[in-house]
Amino acid sequence: MAAAPALIDAHGRAIQYLRISVTDRCDLRCRYCMSENMRFLPRSELLSLDELALVADRFVARGVRKIRLTGGEPLVRSDTLDLVRHIGGHLGQGLDEVTLTTNGTRLDEHAGALADAGVRRVNVSLDSRDPQVFRHITRHGDIAKVLAGITAAQAAGLAVKLNMVALKGLNEGEIAPMLGWAAERGMDLTLIETMPLGEIDEDRTDRFLPLTGVLADLRDRFELLPDTHRTGGPARYWRVAGTETRLGLITPLSANFCDGCNRVRLATDGKLYMCLGHDEGVDLKAALRGHGVAGLDDAIDGALRRKPARHDFRIAAGVAPATRRHMSVTGG
């Protein structure tokens, strides 16, 4: 495949991280992410496996070092493992890592295959270990399936990082116990502020929990040491003293992190979004189907020129979401 210039945006940031949402479908209905009755895209509107593989190839050729597959729930798409195997073929040949973000409900079944395909770590979304709270947040989820998936992932040799959305009045009392449990199991934990993406059935303002206060509370319970570790994402890290566990904080609202943004997101419908907090996207599917690899490169270049300096997230009563699309469309 022909070479092309490296991915540098208009603000001088090198883009080395691609997140691919392989499906907007999910087997859970988390309250902060989705409406209870979601309308998903017809499968005919999704990028095919071959198209996803070609786009991934092109981004690696242009300097992307890390690819994360997300959704929705990526493991509900039947050919996701085939895509992982294809992308895994680039490891050591331009690509440093292929990873996956999952809700864990199908990880028990697929952990071994993911490890065989070259995945070395996964992020598991887990907002509560309490069965009733978990079911309330997800509307119908079974925590036992997720815990079994985490056990299977670790048994397969995968490093596990937990992603926990901090939700005022729902799980704030579980944050410290979650960090303690993660440390006992040798897992990392990243806390995330709720993000105003897409219309949902509830008011996010009531659930917004600034992580500045959460961190102060955790420091009263744990010895947290600043850590320079970076994974390519927006989290800033602390290490729990006496353990190998890292605590990450993703703070899009209380502490903007856009100055070091190195990532773009390919949505399940083929649109490339340069920022999670903006609705403007570039249709790579149309470019690829209409003009092949040359058209794909041109579309990517055009998107880079329009990548904004920062997101526009705001959360307050009566303020509309930053974007019309749900997180499940763009990928976490």
Tell me the whole-structure pTM to 2 decimals: 0.87
What DSSP assignment string belongs to 50-101?
Answer: HHHHHHHHHHHHTT--EEEEESS-GGGSTTHHHHHHHHHTTBTTTB-EEEEE
- Secondary structure string (H, E, C) spanning 100-117: EEECCCCHHHHHHHHHHC
Give the CA distances from residue 142 to residues 29, 136, 174, 332, in Å, rounded to whole numbers and listed in that order: 12, 10, 17, 21
Are 95 and 45 in contact by the 8 Å Cβ rule? The answer is no
Instruction: Determine the pLDDT at residue 310.
Output: 55
Burial of 3 per CB tally in 10 Å (0-12, 13-18, 19+): exposed
The mean pLDDT of 217-238, rounded to a whole number, is 86
Residue 316 has pLDDT above 50, yes or no: no
For residue 144 the two structure tokens come to 């036992």
Mean pLDDT, the chain, integer: 88
Strand order in the sheet with 121-125: 224-227, 236-240, 246-250, 188-193, 159-166, 121-125, 97-102, 66-70, 17-21, 263-266, 271-273, 281-283
Residue 257 has pLDDT above 70, yes or no: no
More confident residue, 317 or 274: 274
Place of tokens 């010895």: 223
Question: What is the rounded distance in angstroms from the CA atom of residue 244 to the CA atom of residue 186?
Answer: 7
Q: Which of 146, 119, 117, 120 lies closest to 131, judged by CA? A: 146
Q: What percent of the chain has pLDDT over 70?
A: 84
* Least confident range of 19-23, 88-92, 205-209, 257-261: 257-261
Q: What percent of the chain has pLDDT over 90?
A: 68
